[in-house]
Amino acid sequence: MTHPDTHPDFLWRNPDPKPSYDVVIVGGGGHGLATAYYLARNHGLNNVAVLERGWLAGGNMARNTTIIRSNYLWDESAAIYEHSLKLWEGLSEELDYDLQFSQRGVLNLAHNLGDVREGRRRVNANRLNGVDAEWLDADEVRKFCPIINVSGGARYPVMGATLQRRGGIAKHDHVAWALARRADAYGIDLIQGCEVTGFEIAGGRVTAVETSRGRIAAGKVALAAAGHTSVLAERAGIRLPLQSHPLQALVSELLEPVLDCVVMSNAVHVYVSQAHKGELVMGAGIDAYNSYGQRGGVHVIEAQMAAALELFPIFSRVRVLRTWAGIVDVSPDASPIIGPTPVEGLYINAGWGTGGFKATPGSGWVYAHTIAEGRPHPLAEPFGLDRFTTGALIDEHGAAAVAH
């Protein structure tokens, strides 16, 4: 399918659902939109609908801290996240939209000997996988990011850091709008205010979805509902190994440029960058309890601020502007689940947990392939549901469980 022209007056149409589609994607976040886009671009499929119960990209896509990197430990993860990072590197041009993708470098701080060993190991593993990675000692960290407190007296002393220079941030709204605009231009229907409430399954095969706007027949149904995936799958009779938790983030008032890289610390559960507009964007660890309310506990933010101030004493007088939470879908090995399900024609893309924004294009690419071809894309193959019965887990807790 050739590249479509976008409409000059609006980003996307607001169509009513048709009675039937070849593919119905459930969830209009980043992953659903990217999947729709690549179904058309790479596979020539455009009799496709994205059904979103709220508004496009009103879920985690609009709530994340936008950190992008590919320095994961295991070969399978490095491969899929690096595929995604390579796509990011050409995406603004391809979508003809400024995504404010900024490869300013991502530091992962080490605060104890365990962190140092894990960090060095990850740098070596990354290099073997062709992923750019460097190890910095404390003095090099100070030179790279002078406002970090590397004095030995801190409660969490900085003993070094991994650095991925190609990592960075992007503007999440722009990413969603750009993908939506292109998907729409290909003829894909983006339907907002349309909640999927059930599935019609005949002879083990999905044939339609029930929605708040009526029944919609579907050749294939692809879940891309992040924190609500397990609730949806249960309606199709599938019990998933996913837990949904609130994950909080916050922004400060606007500041002059003060931080020109991304700093993450798994040990203190804090990650910080400064957005183009000037606000500091900070993420926290997950709230421990399961929940679907898009808000979290104040004590988590409090602990996060205390940790952030130890690392960045310069922020002590900065005021918090707003806090919020998204609902993240965490799998037992902190890796995503992509592929077919026991119901024929029903596909799943979930479990990205706290770290799926960076995967948006890569995930959409491999999910579209998996749906179009009816079998997993090679990069998605290790991430099938069956790994929870075979035991072939891809344990990324060290690199991904809390921070991004």
Ligand X SMILES: Cc1cc2nc3c(=O)[nH]c(=O)nc-3n(C[C@H](O)[C@H](O)[C@H](O)COP(=O)(O)OP(=O)(O)OC[C@H]3O[C@@H](n4cnc5c(N)ncnc54)[C@H](O)[C@@H]3O)c2cc1C
Which residues form the interface with ligand X (CB under 6 A)? 26-32, 51-54, 57-61, 63-67, 195-196, 224-226, 228, 232, 247-249, 283, 326, 328, 352, 354-358, 404
Those residues whose C-beta lies under 8 Å from the C-beta of residue 274, and which sit 6 or more positions away, are 255, 257, 258, 259, 260, 280, 281
CB of 31 to ligand X, least distance (A): 3
Strand, helix or coil at 381? helix
Residue-wise over 96-133: b if at least 16 C-beta within 10 A, else e?
ebebbbbbebbbbbbbeeebbebbeebbebbeebebbb
The one-letter amino acid code at 266 reads: N
CB of 126 to ligand X, least distance (A): 17
Which residue sits closest to ligand X, CB atoms considered? 29
Instruction: Between 226 and 366, name the residue whose CB sits nearer to ligand X.
Output: 226
Instruction: Between 53 and 182, name the residue whose CB sits nearer to ligand X.
Output: 53
Q: Using CA atoms, how far apart are residues 382 and 135, in angstroms rounded to an integer?
A: 28
CB of 191 to ligand X, least distance (A): 9
Backbone torsions φ then ψ of 318, nearest 5 degrees: -75, 140
DSSP state of 132: -
Name residue 348's beta-bridge partners. Answer: 223, 339
Q: Using CA atoms, how far apart are residues 217 and 200, in angstroms rounded to an integer?
A: 9
Instruction: Between 85 and 150, name the residue whose CB sits nearer to ligand X.
Output: 85
Instruction: Between 29 and 384, name the residue whose CB sits nearer to ligand X.
Output: 29
Instruction: Between 57 and 125, name the residue whose CB sits nearer to ligand X.
Output: 57
> DSSP readout, 315-367?
GTTPPEEEEEEEEEEE-TTS--EEEE-SSBTEEEEE-BTT--STTHHHHHHHH
Instruction: Between 94 and 210, name the residue whose CB sits nearer to ligand X.
Output: 210
What is the pairing mode between strands 48-51 and 20-26?
A: parallel
Q: Using CA atoms, how far apart are residues 31 and 80, in angstroms rounded to an integer?
A: 14
CB of 344 to ligand X, least distance (A): 21
What is the pairing mode between strands 337-340 and 346-350?
A: antiparallel
CB of 328 to ligand X, least distance (A): 5
Strand, helix or coil at 144? helix
> DSSP readout, 69-118?
----SSHHHHHHHHHHHHHHHHHHHHHTS----B---EEEEE-SHHHHHH
Instruction: Between 159 and 247, name the residue whose CB sits nearer to ligand X.
Output: 247
Instruction: Between 150 and 286, name the residue whose CB sits nearer to ligand X.
Output: 286
Instruction: Between 150 and 248, name the residue whose CB sits nearer to ligand X.
Output: 248
Instruction: Between 150 and 224, name the residue whose CB sits nearer to ligand X.
Output: 224
| Residue reference for tokens 């406002």 | 147
CB of 22 to ligand X, least distance (A): 18
Q: Using CA atoms, how far apart are residues 206 and 105, in angstroms rounded to an integer?
A: 44
